[in-house]
């Protein structure tokens, strides 16, 4: 039987639960005995609260939490600031302990306050996982099944929710804090936590076994290009070239699969944007953190319960064009906004950046063509490809390899059309050579191709060192030379 299935406990007061004589109490939780005058002594000894994590403690906390939620709702304070809610919880616990005479010492009262604050404005049982810097993904499959990813590997945890209602309440709170809604009529939501972590949640009937929650974590400290360089995501020469490209207003797309580090890499690219430029970011869930002072952040919005009020990324891209942007950064193109993004790149908004889900630069162009067609315009394929070739200069392919390390797989330049086929030339690539202690061993090599954008950058008085593109001789495990031209190594 799972905890809390005994319905009789729901009708017992916290005082009764805490004074049951058959509770097994850990020694370190028993209050130190203090001498009292005879007139003030109690006829029966008071028992300490059960240890945190026991069924009775959880039940007591559950009862008080329910009373607290009713109190907050009655006062219409759910939208209050976190500081106000913390004070409200503290006052509520003090009043409850006084009125119900629960035998808690000062440390236990503080623990109860912390627990109720986390349950009210936080993420409940998931708080320890979010505090662990090694956890990159939190996957809640059911109230009783929670997995995390540490160092690229999934593992099950001992974290449990009380029941489906408890998990649903936390999901609803996360969604409400960013102005989103999730219920049976709208059982899916994309949201974010205050630290920028990306959240996706579902409710029945979409997930038939109960509510689910997925959290893609971002570190407490944003990973900068220096950090990514130390982690082996790219080399100094690659970073130097991309820095020149960003400053020189080269249009770039970051392509990669789920969890490959596209958004993190996009943020690292944006570090090189001059502080004098006006930047507008458009995202489904705002997570980009830019250093520049002149930044306007925009976020999409789903439809309300009446099916109205939806604001799509395409609407925001169109609106951003009227806001005098120097650059537009779209967190990810997924649909018809791809057309407006290409038009923006082709009409004076050079230096724009975006990401796309794709497994290779060639796939990225194919997906881009498909998404342009989703705009509802019957454009011929050749016209779409010509516009994409004119708009996009560089495609950066990032990949999460089997060892869990995220690396730049290749940097390619889009150089034009040959017939109906866009032509790509590879500038840098990662060449795997084998494994050592479960980690993939390889090196980043330059193909020797000098990109055409270098001429454009030099026309803007940017002196790019040619040694950045000097061909790197590297051999694969079979001994073959990887120093090939683009024609010898077609996409």
Instruction: Please spell the DSSP secondary structure of 338-394, one letter per residue.
Output: HHHHHHHHHTT-TT-EEEEE-SSHHHHHHHHHHHHHTTS----HHHHHHHHHHH--E
**pLDDT value of residue 362:** 94
Task: Please name the helix (run of DSSP H) or strand (run of DSSP E) that holds residue 17, with its range, or none.
Answer: helix 14-18
Is the Cβ–Cβ distance between 381 and 396 less than 8 Å?
A: no
CA distances from 298 to 216, 266, 270, 280, 430 (A): 20, 16, 16, 7, 35
Q: Which residue has the tokens 């953190």?
A: 289
As a whole number, the mean pLDDT across the chain is: 80
Give Dmax over CA atoms of the chain in angstroms. 101
The answer to whether the CB of 447 falls within 8 A of the CB of 429 is yes
C-alpha closest to that of 212 among 278, 126, 129, 150 = 126
The rounded distance, in Å, linking the Cα atoms of 285 and 292 is 19
Residue 201 dihedral angles phi and psi, to the nearest 5° = -140, 150
The conformation of residue 414, written as its DSSP 8-state character, comes to: E
Alpha carbon distance 391, 250 (integer Å): 9
Write down the residue that tokens 């997925």 correspond to.
214
Q: Residue 250's pLDDT is what?
A: 95
pLDDT of residue 13: 53
CA 422 to chain CA centroid, Å, is: 33
CA of residue 169 relative to chain centroid, distance: 21
> What's the confidence (pLDDT) of residue 349?
87
Sheet arrangement for strand 394-400? 295-299, 279-283, 327-330, 353-357, 252-256, 394-400, 406-418, 421-436, 439-446
Domains of the chain, earliest start first: 7-29+44-120 (no CATH), 126-216 (3.30.450.370), 225-469 (3.40.50.300)
Question: What pLDDT score does 369 carry?
Answer: 93
How many other β-carbons are positioned within 10 Å of the β-carbon of residue 237? Answer: 17
H or E stretch including 110? helix 106-121
Helix (H, G, I), strand (E, B) or coil at 236: helix
| Cα–Cα dist 181/456, whole Å | 47
pLDDT at position 40, please? 34
Low-confidence ranges of the chain (pLDDT < 50): 1-11, 15, 17-55, 475-491
Global pTM reads 0.68
The residue among 332, 331, 326, 361 whose CA lies nearest residue 344 is 326
Alpha-carbon gap, residue 307 to 391, rounded angstroms: 35
Is the backbone of residue 203 left (phi > 0), alpha (psi -120 to 50) or beta?
A: beta
| DSSP, res 27 | G
């Amino acid at each position: 039987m799972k905890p809390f299935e005994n319905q009789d406990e729901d009708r017992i007061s916290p005082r009764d639960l805490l004074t049951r004589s058959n509770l097994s109490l850990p020694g370190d939780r028993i209050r130190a005995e203090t001498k009292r005058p005879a007139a003030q002594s109690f006829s029966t000894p008071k028992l300490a609260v059960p240890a945190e994590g026991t069924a009775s403690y959880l039940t007591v906390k559950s009862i008080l939490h329910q009373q607290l939620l009713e109190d907050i709702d009655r006062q219409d304070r759910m939208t209050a600031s976190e500081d106000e809610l913390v004070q409200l919880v503290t006052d509520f616990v003090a009043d409850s302990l006084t009125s119900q005479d629960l035998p808690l010492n000062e440390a236990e009262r503080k623990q109860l306050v912390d627990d109720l604050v986390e349950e009210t404005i936080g993420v409940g049982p998931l708080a320890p996982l979010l505090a662990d810097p090694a956890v990159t993904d939190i996957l809640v499959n059911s109230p009783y099944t929670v997995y995390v990813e540490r160092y690229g590997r999934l593992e099950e945890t001992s974290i449990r929710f009380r029941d489906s209602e408890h998990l649903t309440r936390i999901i609803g709170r996360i969604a409400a804090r960013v102005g989103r809604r999730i219920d049976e009529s709208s059982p899916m939501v994309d949201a974010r936590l205050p630290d920028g972590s990306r959240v996706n949640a579902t409710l029945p009937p979409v997930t038939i076994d109960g509510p689910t929650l997925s959290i893609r974590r971002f570190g407490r400290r944003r990973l900068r290009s220096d950090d990514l360089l130390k982690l082996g995501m790219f080399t100094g020469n690659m970073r130097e070239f991309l820095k020149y490209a960003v400053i020189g207003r080269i249009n770039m797309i970051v392509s990669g699969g789920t969890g490959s580090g596209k958004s993190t890499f996009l943020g690292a690219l944006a570090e090189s944007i001059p502080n004098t430029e006006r930047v507008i970011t458009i995202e489904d869930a705002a997570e980009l953190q830019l250093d520049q002072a002149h930044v306007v952040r925009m976020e999409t919005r789903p439809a309300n319960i009446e099916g109205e009020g939806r604001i799509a990324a395409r609407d925001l891209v169109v609106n951003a064009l009227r806001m005098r942007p120097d650059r537009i950064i779209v967190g990810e193109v997924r649909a018809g906004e791809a057309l407006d993004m290409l038009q923006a790149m082709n009409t004076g908004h050079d230096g724009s950046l975006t990401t796309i889900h794709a497994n290779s630069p060639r796939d990225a162009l194919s997906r881009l063509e498909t998404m342009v067609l989703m705009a509802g315009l019957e454009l011929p394929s050749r016209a779409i490809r010509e516009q994409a070739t004119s708009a996009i200069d560089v495609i950066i392919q990032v990949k999460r390899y089997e060892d869990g390390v995220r690396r730049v797989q290749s940097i390619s330049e889009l150089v034009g059309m040959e017939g109906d086929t866009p032509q790509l030339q590879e500038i840098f690539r990662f060449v795997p050579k084998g494994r050592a202690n479960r980690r993939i061993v390889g090196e980043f090599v330059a193909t020797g191709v000098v990109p055409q954008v270098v001429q454009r950058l030099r026309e803007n008085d940017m002196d790019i060192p040619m040694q950045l593109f000097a061909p790197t001789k590297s051999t694969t495990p079979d001994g073959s030379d990887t120093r090939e031209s683009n024609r010898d190594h077609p996409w």
